[in-house]
A and B are shown apart, each in its own frame.
Chain A
Amino acid sequence: GAGVSQSPRYKVAKRGQDVALRCDPISGHVSLFWYQQALGQGPEFLTYFQNEAQLDKSGLPSDRFFAERPEGSVSTLKIQRTQQEDSAVYLCASTKGGKETQYFGPGTRLLVL
């Protein structure tokens, strides 16, 4: 497919468990964003990559959240020692670069019990 894909689509984790969420951006897209969307709210920025460089991680809520994009394409968002407040939809978006239109994936819905 030509769009942004994310996996898994749904994840249930026990409190304290580590999780890893994957994003496959559109081929050739330089920029990649992660957002967190809580129930009834709009997406909130977490972090931004330009190729493999993480240029902005100001939105990561705690040091339990870690993101990487080692080869400049696929990205992984890792949450360590998950807490109930981490329950949300995690969205990934990609662009050609700069302030271009962001194309979003379907998201991963994380539920921490």
Chain B
Amino acid sequence: DQQVKQNSPSLSVQEGRISILNCDYTNSMFDYFLWYKKYPAEGPTFLISISSIKDKNEDGRFTVFLNKSAKHLSLHIVPSQPGDSAVYFCAASGLTDSWGKLQFGAGTQVVVTP
């Protein structure tokens, strides 16, 4: 059963505009959420994370929002740049999982056009 879902397989956005990526989860025991970025033929690269005690975390152009009641998180990229074109994965880790095993969504392919 897929406990982390990214329902948009792809997103196209114009350079300079905002990219919004969404992620839903079903397991209420998840307490730590991460976003990874992946270029072709490379491993996922950590982007930003958020603990369940927060509802927002910001790092430069990247902001992650967490809505626990809706079991939903989103990643905002402002402004989008051509180098942001990649696959973005949402991942979650459980409260009962002391060593941080991650469950991933299927990913969203982002294309930033000039």
Within the complex, what minimum Cβ distance (angstroms) separates A35 from chain B?
8
User: A106 vs B41: C-alpha distance in the bound complex, in angstroms?
Assistant: 7
Residue from the list B41, B44, B99 in contact with A43, Cβ < 8 A:
B44
User: A106 vs B105: C-alpha distance in the bound complex, in angstroms?
Assistant: 19
| Chain A residue nearest to B9 in the complex (CB) | A40
Within the complex, what minimum Cβ distance (angstroms) separates B84 from chain A?
19
How many residue pairs link A and B with beta carbons under 8 A? The number is 64
Pair B99/A45 contact, Cβ less than 8 Å: no
Contacts of B106 in A (CB 8 A): 40-42
Pair B98/A42 contact, Cβ less than 8 Å: no
Pair B98/A103 contact, Cβ less than 8 Å: no
Pair B100/A43 contact, Cβ less than 8 Å: no
| Chain B residue nearest to A30 in the complex (CB) | B99
Interface size on A, residues (CB 8 A): 28
Within the complex, what minimum Cβ distance (angstroms) separates A23 from chain B?
11
Residue from the list A6, A45, A98 in contact with B98, Cβ < 8 A:
A98
Contacts of B41 in A (CB 8 A): 106
Cβ contacts B21-39/A at 8 Å (1 or 0 each): 0000000000010101000
**Is B86 in contact with chain A by the CB < 8 A criterion?**
no
Pair B100/A91 contact, Cβ less than 8 Å: no
Q: Given A42-B91, A42-B105, A48-B101, 14 other A-B contacts at CB below 8 A?
A: A40-B106, A42-B89, A43-B44, A45-B101, A45-B103, A50-B99, A99-B100, A100-B100, A101-B34, A101-B49, A102-B100, A103-B46, A106-B41, A106-B42
Q: 5 tightest CB-CB pairs across the interface, nearest first?
A: A42-B104, A104-B43, A99-B100, A104-B44, A106-B43
Interface of A toward B, CB cutoff 8 Å: 4, 6, 31, 33, 35, 40-45, 48, 50, 55-56, 91, 93, 95, 98-107
